[in-house]
Structure 1
Amino acid sequence: MIEIMKESVMRLYRWFKELLIAHNLWDVFTYVFFGGWTTVVNIVVFAIATKLGLSWIIANFLAWLLSVLFAFITNKLWVFHSHVPDFAALMAEIVLFFGARIVSLGIDYGCMFLFIDGLHLSNLVAKVLTQVVIVVANYAFSKFIIFRHKPTDK
């Protein structure tokens, strides 16, 4: 019974993946999936850090750093399937990725200041709202700047 269920789930997965690939949406789907997990990492680290007494400014930076590390690995391996020929090319990807994420960190802090200090929303509500803007900006940076080259094999 378990084997039949497993087989059915795999058939459904393959059908879903083929459908999205046919419509050039597989990258978007995997980005949203892993972006969702990156957002979870960001929010959980932020919530824990603020509960431990860190200011939201420091908690936000810590959450950013850990979520960027998670995002680089998932984006490189499973979203954009980036394969580079050597260590220098890998370092270039890392520098571009972190550079783009520093830009989005500026957007993050701008939104957080607006929501917390300007609109007086709670820290966690501000963090969740800010992540919507950040996910869109980071997808554009990753898709069109950082991992723009196609892999040699998939």
Structure 2
Amino acid sequence: MRKQEQLKEAIRYIFTGGLTTVVNFMIYWLCTRFFHIYWMSANVLAWLGAVIFAYYMNQRYVFHSNPANAWKEAAQFFFLRLLTLLIETVLLYITIQWLLIPDMISKVIVSVITVAGNYVFCKFMIFYQKQ
């Protein structure tokens, strides 16, 4: 892939990743503040909504992968994102329960780590196999 194409792809990923983060935070905020759901359950619900949104955006607009591989990509995408959910949950537990950092601030801190990890997983382990 040429450098210019790589840059465009990275910009698209950052933009859709930003939208995915907004989806995640909005669902989390609604769950915790409006519906009064415990932060850990709210995080799982927010993760689910964000992952569905992110898969669609990454598959269609960022990596332009082959639709024939959609089921395989979706399974890999959700599995790898499940790993980041586990990492995110552990980090949120540490920051919220042990360090007593407010949940929304903790979510911002932890999101920086998971967004970077998600890019690497998506790029090199899932959508890289496009044809």
TM-score normalised by structure 2 residue count: 0.93
Give the length in aligned residue pairs.
Answer: 129
Map of 1:1-150 to 2, 5 A cutoff?
A: 22=4, 24-51=6-33, 52-85=35-68, 89-150=69-130
Larger-gyration structure (1/2): 1
Q: Secondary structure at the match of 1:31?
A: helix
The structural deviation recorded for 1:22 is: 2.2
Unpaired segments of 5 or more residues in structure 1? 1-19
Amino acid at match of 1:109: T
Q: Distance in 2 between matches of 1:24 and 1:140?
A: 13
Note the residue ranges of structure 2 that are not aligned, 5 or more in a row: none
Structure-2 residue corresponding to 1:5: none
- 1:3 aligned residue: none
Counterpart amino acid of residue 115 in structure 2 = V
**Which has a greater percent of helix?**
2
Which amino acid in 2 is paired with 1:28? Answer: A
* 1:84 alignment partner AA: P
SS in 2 for 1:25: helix
After TM superposition, the runs of 4+ consecutive aligned structure 1 residues lying more than 4 A away are none
Cα distance in 1, alignment partners of residues 59 and 67 from structure 2 = 10
Report the identity percentage.
36
Give the letter for the 1:69 counterpart. Answer: I
Q: TM-score, normalised to structure 1's length? A: 0.79
Q: Displacement, 1:21?
A: 5.4
Question: Partners of 2:81 and 2:114 in 1: how far apart?
Answer: 9
- Structure with the greater relative contact order (CA < 8 A, sep ≥ 6): 1 or 2? 2
- State the superposition RMSD in angstroms: 1.5
Superposed displacement of residue 23, structure 1: 6.7
**Offset, 1:149:** 2.2
